[in-house]
Amino acid sequence: MASKPVYVLNGPNLNLLGAREPDVYGRETLADIEADVKAQAKTLGLTVEFRQSNNEGTLVDWVQEADAKGSGLIINPGAYTHTSIALLDALKAASIPKIELHLSNIHAREEYRRKSLTAEAVNGVIMGFGAKGYRLALDAIKTLV
């Protein structure tokens, strides 16, 4: 197992998965996704620190913590993808490998969701695969750490 965990951070409203717009985000809950990610991480020889917050500042703090204590970072910034310069700056400052993740394809959504401010600060972006995107992101981060 990797000595440092991979941080999997989830932004605003992701705690509502399974109930919020299931036609867009799927029926899996965040707890379902966490269990799946932790099981897959174990098979990959990784450990995971899985978290969710609706607060921008908390996510910034966690990105900084991941840089100090983690081996890699997977982040689903939620709506902060499109609005948070603070999160962008934290991601730019972090030197660990980083993957941005979205359940839906943001380019096929409303105009205001099509721009990711945070994408320029990560190694890659995975989107449009629903909850399975977390598995793809974990596989990708394994190659980078």
Catalytic amino acids?
25, 102
Structure tokens at 23: 């036609």
| The residue type at 96 | I
The position carrying tokens 């204590």 is: 69
Query: What is the distance between the alpha carbons of residues 15 and 33, in angstroms, rounded to a whole number?
Result: 11
Query: What is the distance between the alpha carbons of residues 137 and 74, in angstroms, rounded to a whole number?
Result: 7
Query: What is the distance between the alpha carbons of residues 33 and 29, in angstroms, rounded to a whole number?
Result: 6
